[in-house]
Structure 1
């Protein structure tokens, strides 16, 4: 298992949390994804044999939330 952290642009509403967490947690290989609203960070634990940090970042970006920084 690998843990990755994404720094997003400022999140504007609490419903953003649910949207991002739901999309990531449905993705194959993701064990757990959590969004920290006030710091606009996403922390995800995933199986690198099934998915990659790049694929998770792409999922977040497609939802309309630009990723500013990624830390594995």
Structure 2
């Protein structure tokens, strides 16, 4: 398992948290996804044999949130 933290542009609403956590959490290979609203960071624990950091970042961007890495 690998854990990453991705910096996002500032989040503006608490419902953004649930949207991102739900989508990332459903990805194959993702063990846990946590969004830290105050710091606009996403912490994800995942199996790098099944999913990559870039795939997680791309999924977040498809939801409409800019990943600054």
**TM-score normalised to the size of structure 2?**
0.99
What are the ranges of 5 or more consecutive residues in structure 1 without an aligned counterpart?
Answer: none
User: Aligned pairs, how many?
Assistant: 69
Q: Deviations over 1:8-55 (max 9, x none)?
A: 000000000000000000000000000000000000000001000000
What are the ranges of 5 or more consecutive residues in structure 2 without an aligned counterpart?
Answer: none
Which residue of structure 2 aligns with residue 12 of structure 1?
12
RMSD of aligned residue pairs (Cα, Å): 0.3
Structure 1 counterpart SS, 2:25: helix
Q: Which runs of 4+ in 1 moved over 4 A?
A: none
**TM-score normalised to the size of structure 1?**
0.95
